[in-house]
Structure 1
Amino acid sequence: MLVIFTDLDGSLLNHEDYSYKDAIPSLERIKKLKIPLIFTSSKTRVEIELLQKEIGIKEPFIVENGAAVFFPEKYRNFRLNLPKFNGYRIMKLGKEYSYIRKFISQIKKIIPIKGFGDMSVEEIAKLTDLPIERARYAKMREFTEPFIIEDESKLSILKKEAEKYGLKITKGGRFYHLIGKDQDKGKAVKLTSQIFKENLGDIKTVGIGDSKNDISMLEVVDIPVLIPKFNMEYENIWLPNLIKASFPGSKGWNEVVWRLIDEFETACN
């Protein structure tokens, strides 16, 4: 069985307007074939739940750059030795949001940074080009904090201070992110893949991303896919079996996923 892990912003969703319309043909095919499509994003649980509902899928998902994996309760009758949480089984890999905010409140005295917790919903909407309601959901963090830094020359100092606190910094498409040092997308994807193997047997994993914080995910899947940026430049990633999409955003995503499903079906017949 194919299992697809995908980044959202800049990959399935266009960078400029967050649309997935060009990916609808492959999304419909995925639903028809019941292929697990696992959103693996810096987005919050609420944001991903809404997107899943809009697209019409109910699959496991990975939130806030690998901070936690949520499996819907009774998902495919999987045996899951994980704690229950609001209709899910949850695997936590990240720090609590309150812990990260405590660090930010201390470090701001030395280095001027501004996290989502310091911003109004209107500010987040302006920085992200999200509608106000979507910006409100983006602010509902549980494990990590997107932030901006006024003086990038102080980033190396910030990284050292974060390390002392058990945190690290990753770079996404629009923001830096403060996250737990023991989490990343790759670790979450690897553990999730293991659960799929234990319950389904032989699987083939696909990982789709466009930025630096997707590298760890692309390194642990069978088929890594790199989507170009909206300016048609690719992130500087080298992997021996890397597939590069021909178009940015949902158009490139659709093209590669459609082809991979074709190839997988041909190999199975």
Structure 2
Amino acid sequence: MTEATTHPQPLPPVRQWLIFTDLDGTLLDHHTYSHAAAQPVLAQLRALQVPVILNSSKTLAELASIAAELALDSPLVAENGSVIHYPVRQHTLTLGSNYAEICAQLDELRTREHYRFAGFHDWPAEQIAALTGLPLAAAALAAQRCASEPLLWQDAENRLEPFHQQLISAGLSLKRGGRFWHVMGQTDKVQAMHHLAAEYQQRWGAKPFVIALGDGPNDADMLAAADVAVIVYNPDGTPPTLAESLTQQRTHTSLPGPAGWAEAMSMLLANSAA
């Protein structure tokens, strides 16, 4: 069962819903990457024509493969809001910095300041597979980056903040994910979410009712910007922290991963207007 919601309120009709979801640990199992437990609810949302938008640190190549498995044709938000892809019209919009420029800046900082870290551009697909638990073919998709670089911080913790400040000075940002730190341009999941919500509002002629689902600190801003925040139980890591002053409706699931995703969405559907 889901825990009691914070600031409960009547939900609008599902035709106004716009769902943004994280993947690892949320719609996908953190260990097996399975989405089987969420499939019945996803099928229900497809039948209701509710857009389910994947909003993840994963690459566009990874998201396109997962979206195909899930039979989703909604826009995809890749690399923590750096890239938006529209599958129906095969159009890609880059909001963040160029990948080659990010890697060059990281290499320059590592050489000049002697920081100890390693990122995807340092590793072959075999090592990415070993570090992520992904199959080799999926790891190769994870290496096809457009606008962000995941890295493992191997230096002292007290050197992380100076590194962060130097990235900011270079026009970049640093986000904490479930397994890696992510270096990217000055954009995020929320900017991409607002961009797409504005597009749907123009298309529908009404403001979308935004539901966001996530399980980690990297999802906190996206959750805070939604009308309903679903915090999926995270037994393996740090959950997102949201300010108590927020007046949104908030739901905590008791189950992790896709089972928790389905648990929360089933409850919301049951409480929605026709």
Residue 233 of structure 2 aligns to a residue in which SS? Answer: coil
> Residue type of the partner of 1:136?
A
Q: Does 1:4 align with 2:19?
A: yes
Residue 245 of structure 1 aligns to a residue in which SS? Answer: strand
> Residue type of the partner of 1:102?
A
Greater mean alpha carbon deviation, residues 236-245 or residues 59-68 = 236-245
Moved beyond 2 Å, runs of 4+: 230-241
Aligned-residue offset at 1:73: 4.0
Among candidates 54, 67, 90, match of residue 39 of structure 1: 54
Alignment match, 1:195: 199
Q: Does 1:21 align with 2:25?
A: no
Aligned-residue offset at 1:144: 0.1
Deviations 1:61-105 (A, max 9, x none): 10100002112345xxxxxxxxxxxx22x3321001011011111
Alignment of 1:92-241 (within 5 A): 92-109=94-111, 110-151=114-155, 152-181=157-186, 183-202=187-206, 203-231=208-236, 234-238=239-243, 239-240=246-247, 241=249
Among candidates 257, 261, 267, match of residue 253 of structure 1: 261
Q: Matches of 2:55 and 2:23 in 1, distance apart?
A: 7
- Select the structure with the greater relative contact order (CA < 8 A; seq sep ≥ 6): 2
Residue 175 of structure 2 aligns to a residue in which SS? Answer: strand
User: Are the aligned partners of 2:216 and 2:237 in contact in 1 as well (CA < 8 Å)?
Assistant: no
Deviations 1:142-170 (A, max 9, x none): 00000011113311111011011100110
TM-score by length of 2: 0.88
Q: Matches of 1:64 and 1:253 in 2, distance apart?
A: 21
In structure 1, runs of 5+ residues without a counterpart are 75-86
User: Are the aligned partners of 2:167 and 2:173 in contact in 1 as well (CA < 8 Å)?
Assistant: yes
User: Are the aligned partners of 2:219 and 2:240 in contact in 1 as well (CA < 8 Å)?
Assistant: no
Equivalent pairs: percent with the same residue? 32
Alignment match, 1:82: none
> Residue type of the partner of 2:165?
K
Q: Matches of 2:200 and 2:177 in 1, distance apart?
A: 27
User: Are the aligned partners of 1:46 and 1:137 in contact in 2 as well (CA < 8 Å)?
Assistant: yes
Greater mean alpha carbon deviation, residues 211-220 or residues 188-197 = 211-220
User: Are the aligned partners of 1:10 and 1:230 in contact in 2 as well (CA < 8 Å)?
Assistant: no
Q: Matches of 2:194 and 2:149 in 1, distance apart?
A: 23
What do you get for the CA RMSD once the two structures are aligned? 1.4
For these two proteins, the number of residue pairs brought into alignment is: 252
Deviations 1:90-121 (A, max 9, x none): 33210010110111111121201111000111
Among candidates 77, 95, 108, match of residue 62 of structure 1: 77
Aligned-residue offset at 1:231: 4.1
User: Are the aligned partners of 1:121 and 1:132 in contact in 2 as well (CA < 8 Å)?
Assistant: yes
Residue 254 of structure 2 aligns to a residue in which SS? Answer: coil
Q: Matches of 1:41 and 1:233 in 2, distance apart?
A: 17
